A and B are shown apart, each in its own frame.
Chain A
Amino acid sequence: MSWNTIIFGGMFILSLFIFINLSKVKASKKQLDRPDRINRFGDKKPEDDIKIIRGLDENK
């Protein structure tokens, strides 16, 4: 077996293992809690509504 096969074959197996396992982990807070996230589905998270209600409450 050549070094080419060992190196790139190993890279393939390791990468596939990382992909399958890491994909199932939720992204970091640094990634998810950003104000400039793409909003494809046009929905707000329930927490956003809570913040707005609290904001109004504080103004009273």
Chain B
Amino acid sequence: MSKHSALNTFGRSGNPAFTRNFTSNDSTLPISEKMTLDGAVNKTSILLALCFLGAGVGWNMPALAIPAGIIGFILAMVTIFRSPAKAGSTAPLYSLSQGVMLGAITMLAEAAYPGIAIQAIGLTFGILASLLFCYKSGIIKPTENFRLMIFSATAGIALLYLISFIMSFFGSSIGFIHSNGLMGIGFSAFVVGIAALNLVLDFDFIEEGAEKGMPKYMEWYGAFSLMVTLVWLYIEILHLLIKLNSRR
């Protein structure tokens, strides 16, 4: 039991992909069946490649954005709540479908504000590399309190988005989420910050899983979790850039 009662109730990670309990490492597993850092990185590279492939399709066929987004959401839910062990088959499909959705969204944003796509991609990967360096060097140290803080903020943002989504059916919305005023830009910057800090928890998950010799499928699960956070971070950065560009 944790000293934080909220952790006992809601799980122990900011990223919903990490709230499941996993069986501890099995020392009887042969080395070739254990999770490694190299394996997780290779799988992340495969997922990134699939995402870019999907983005190419989505860019040329923007009508696929909504179906691809729904398929991606269903695949993410199945991977997180039903079968993490099958992440090897669901994660590539998730990346492909999310890539299609992101490609379509990016094409529409680029049509409205030329040059915004490369800015969003550059900033997303810039943040990814910077935070990886900060994590590996020990500048940012994820602790139980850090995780609780990120989890609370992530859950709060998810709840706010859900309320805003429900309100949209009644012709209303929470104004500042989509406004390009100072409040709206500040909110988007905060969400980008929280999404970025979720990356640190993803890195720590992969590092710990490899260190403790978790089963091989956890490489796919760790890579999938990183992709979930990256997709979120990219969408939020694009959202922030759209708000900033619309003020000109």
CA distance in complex: A30, B123 (Å):
28
Q: Is A43 among interface residues, defined by CB-CB distance under 8 A?
A: yes
Instruction: List A contacts of B18 (CB < 8 A).
Output: 40
CA distance in complex: A31, B142 (Å):
9
Across the interface, name the chain A residue whose C-beta is closest to B115: A4
Instruction: List B contacts of A37 (CB < 8 A).
Output: 142-143, 208
Across the interface, A41 reaches (CB within 8 A) one of B125, B142, B147, B208, namely B208
Count of B interface residues, CB-CB < 8 Å: 43
Given A15-B129, A22-B132, A23-B132: A43 and B207 interface contact (C-beta under 8 Å): no
Binds A, one of B36-44, B63-71, B86-94, B178-186: B36-44
Interface of B is mostly: helix
Residue of A15, A18, A34, A40 with most chain B CB atoms under a 10 A cut-off: A40
Q: Is B25 among interface residues, defined by CB-CB distance under 8 A?
A: yes
Across the interface, A36 reaches (CB within 8 A) one of B115, B126, B143, namely B143
Q: Is B209 among interface residues, defined by CB-CB distance under 8 A?
A: yes
Interface of A is mostly: helix
Interface string of B191-232 (1 = CB under 8 A from A): 000000000000111011101101000000000000000000
Separation in Å of the B191 CB from the closest CB of chain A?
A: 21
Within 8 A of A (CB), among B149-199: none
Q: Is A53 among interface residues, defined by CB-CB distance under 8 A?
A: no
Instruction: List B contacts of A28 (CB < 8 A).
Output: 136-138
Across the interface, A18 reaches (CB within 8 A) one of B132, B204, B212, namely B132
Q: Is B83 among interface residues, defined by CB-CB distance under 8 A?
A: no
Q: Is B141 among interface residues, defined by CB-CB distance under 8 A?
A: yes
* Cβ-defined contact, B135 with A31, below 8 A: yes
Interface string of A1-23 (1 = CB under 8 A from B): 01011011111101110111011
Interface residues of A (CB under 8 A from B): 2, 4-5, 7-12, 14-16, 18-20, 22-32, 34, 36-43, 45
